[in-house]
Structure 1
């Protein structure tokens, strides 16, 4: 029986890289997203109308995941749950779209992380990996970056707290679960290339680099610190993973 990873956001740019890397190692992979990933073993297609309601969307995802696994022996015994879903919305406290943007960021980053942790609590094997995406900018206030202040920064700070709670005793996760957040600065995605063509791309982190690290942690090839908040720092094409917890 192969190892099994669940990737929340498996049809996005980073999600496709992560799914592809796990499949390269012959893992079974369940992708959870609004559209299918042809490389995944199982696809869970989400109902977009429920995303702002955590209770409804969470229960719906749990049900759809079980439906996707019907008839697949051992599918509920996950070795890794990885949440790479997310997005970006800005605005400061004067912004008329403040409530809308915070709600959007909560549904994209915090709600997906809560659901991922819940799936890990129910289906992750002992010693498995739970990984979510945070943001280094959310480790402190951002007075020079008002567009990050509320919607993005506050939500990502909540994700950091969630993962450190998940790493603590009594979290409800299986024994010896390794719960971590990764904090990219800028990922080298086609969309970022399109909108920032003149940027210094040598400071951008390749998607394959992130996917490789997650696969190494999940497989036990590399040791990962439980409760860590790993800032991903890329300079001149070289990437370091710095624990900011």
Structure 2
């Protein structure tokens, strides 16, 4: 694939910026979608909130204005994290926040992808290994939101009409990403060499957009790092 066109939803966040930068190095045309602009992208679409219907329509309109031949990949790395037990007095506020950051962004980006992805294109959503088919007692709202993203992945991958032929829907399941926000909330016993560097994720995404080592439609890809060594594995 020569000079792919890629939409990065969450392109101004820590991981999104890394992905945009890597894609530009690989000569891709990149459209960033976020609450603020990313000047490194070829085009920035600034949305007002976190994946409302209005956001999705504004992104679709903007993409269709600048992209003639469709989009080759849409990568959604928008999201958020928050601790919280179920009986916390703040649980409902946390639920709204996690729903907006994780579920609505996944839905909105997938909706745009359904209208713009070319045949054999790629949609990547971001889940979480810590919430994959397991309880999250201290992350109630976050776990519920990520579980919804996992379910969305499975549903979209099973669709026979929402996407063009050959589109792959893939969900990343990071164990722990080495972001400034995660470092700011790190505990004294956290080992940063067990956290996945953002440039590793960006390199992985870049390969997938070019069709290299791309997982099959419906795949969930666990990304884990131990003692500075990062590996990926397909999980059920």
Corresponding residue for residue 82 of structure 2 = 89
| CA drift at 1:59 | 3.2
Paired with 1:30 and 1:156, the residues of 2 have a C-alpha distance of 25
> Which among 116, 121, 129 is matched to residue 122 of structure 2?
129
Deviations 1:92-114 (A, max 9, x none): 22111111111111110111111
Paired with 2:47 and 2:214, the residues of 1 have a C-alpha distance of 33
Q: What stretches of structure 1 move > 6 A for 4+ residues in a row?
A: none
Corresponding residue for residue 18 of structure 1 = 19
Deviations 1:91-141 (A, max 9, x none): 222111111111111110111111111111100001011001101111233
Paired with 2:32 and 2:90, the residues of 1 have a C-alpha distance of 31
**Contact 2:59–2:112 (CA under 8 A) maintained in structure 1:** no
Structure 2 length normalisation: TM-score? 0.92
**Contact 1:83–1:112 (CA under 8 A) maintained in structure 2:** yes
**Contact 1:77–1:125 (CA under 8 A) maintained in structure 2:** yes
**Contact 2:22–2:206 (CA under 8 A) maintained in structure 1:** yes
Corresponding residue for residue 201 of structure 1 = 192
**Contact 2:220–2:235 (CA under 8 A) maintained in structure 1:** yes
Give SS of 1:38's match: coil
| CA drift at 1:87 | 0.6
Deviations 1:174-225 (A, max 9, x none): 2111101101111112232333274211111110100111110110122312
Deviations 1:41-90 (A, max 9, x none): 11111113xx4xx6xx22333224423653x352x610100000001123
Give SS of 1:104's match: helix
Structure 1 length normalisation: TM-score? 0.89
> Which among 140, 145, 148 is matched to residue 158 of structure 1?
148
Deviations 1:8-67 (A, max 9, x none): 00000000001111111111111000111110011111113xx4xx6xx22333224423
> Which among 174, 180, 188 is matched to residue 184 of structure 1?
174
Range with bigger deviation, 25-34 or 170-179: 170-179
**Contact 1:7–1:31 (CA under 8 A) maintained in structure 2:** yes
Corresponding residue for residue 134 of structure 2 = 141
| CA drift at 1:164 | 1.0
Please tell me the root mean square deviation across aligned C-alpha atoms, in Å.
1.8
| CA drift at 1:169 | 3.5
**Contact 1:44–1:65 (CA under 8 A) maintained in structure 2:** no
**Contact 1:230–1:241 (CA under 8 A) maintained in structure 2:** yes
- 1:236 and 2:227 are equivalent in the alignment: yes
- Structure 2, unaligned runs of 5 or more: none
Corresponding residue for residue 102 of structure 2 = 109
- Structure 1, unaligned runs of 5 or more: none
